[in-house]
Amino acid sequence: MLRIHFTDVDLARTRLASAPDPLFDIAASLHRFQTRRGRWAFAGWYRTTRQQLREKGLERALRSVLLPLYPRAAYYPDFLTPVGAVDGLDMGLESILATPPQRVMAEIAILDRIVGAPAWAGQLAGLEARKEFVRVLRAYYEVVVAPHEEQVRARIEAERAARCRGLLDGGVEGMLAGLGPMLRWRPPVLEVAYPRQADDRDLHLNGRGLTLVPSYFNWREPVAFADPGLPPVVWYSLLHEPEVRSVTGSAPEQPLTNVLGRARAVALRAASAGATTGEIARAAGVSASAASRHATALRDAGLISTVRNGPTVLHTLTPTGASLLRAALRKAEADLTGTVV
């Protein structure tokens, strides 16, 4: 377990990242290939991704280059997920190239000591080897992560909306209290459930604050830098719902789709975590004007409520909408298992 110790200054300087971290998404997606835990949550992604990796000729690079450097274990090198990556893939890859050779060597040595490093890993201290490695990372990202960017961004924005409600209700402490189940706020300490093989440790923020980065591809394994001297960051998992399908092949939204239509069913699902009109548009694959019309129809039916903040509106479920959504999900899972609702 990691115990992060806050002061009042740290609470004031804690923030939630505004976008996905592409380099951490690479790391977390590589971990999905190394375990069956949570496979149900990524079943569709897993099937299509393995096929795409074969078609693009990246399977060898996956096995011999990437998986050995990103073990799903107590440690992988910090320089592979630089803080600058929250500003985009290009910034993150530039940060990897700019890593001092001494730091690369030191972190590869830690990897070797803890889980074993590939024999060639020390070459990454050289700039040319790192340039080639960055090319592999970019190719992998384009095949594995980029095709899902819209879905990932929509989920991140929904998570931000949910955390903002906690912030409004209870300040930063209210936001931290809603991060579970793998992160537990026990004032003034945030307890982070680490993989079993990791040792317990304490991290004192000492006025630096904390950056929280939700990750679509992470599965119940929050991650922080091993080096306490680096800027404090915690990447944590979104709460996934199963990609269940009934025995007839229908999706979880099918009962809703039969009544509301596909776009409005997706809009209702999006509103369950709080969503702007733009987020609904991206989730449903429709224009902003069409999303606005669907939101209006759902609001007129008493299924969602809308709050305006300047040019932006936030749509959330009413109790009726929440009951309808829960009933539809129960029906879908009952179809899958053959039980009676």
What is the amino acid identity at position 204? Answer: H
Separation of alpha carbons 337 and 341, rounded Å? 11
The domain spans of the chain are: 2-16+150-237, 22-149, 254-337
Which residue in this structure is represented by tokens 């393995």?
50
pLDDT beyond 60 at 299: yes
Which residue in this structure is represented by tokens 């789709």?
257
Q: What is the pLDDT of residues 254-270, one digit of tens each?
A: 667 777 888 898 898 88
Q: What's the average model confidence in pLDDT over 149-173?
A: 81
Please tell me what DSSP assigns to residue 241: -
Q: How many CB atoms lie within 10 A of CB 150?
A: 12
Mean per-residue pLDDT over the chain, rounded: 86
**3 state SS of 262:** helix
What is the amino acid identity at position 322? Answer: A
Q: Was domain 254-337 assigned CATH 1.10.10.10?
A: yes
pLDDT beyond 50 at 250: no
Taking phi over 0 as left and psi of -120 to 50 as alpha, with beta for the rest, 57 belongs to left
CA-based R_g, the chain, Å? 21
Residue 206, pLDDT score: 95
Q: How far is CA 86 from CA 33, 91, 229, 271, 313, in A?
A: 23, 8, 19, 25, 25
Q: What is the pLDDT of residues 52-104, one digit of tens each?
A: 999 999 999 999 999 999 999 889 999 999 988 888 999 999 999 999 999 99
pLDDT beyond 60 at 332: no
Residue 240, pLDDT score: 62
**3 state SS of 221:** coil
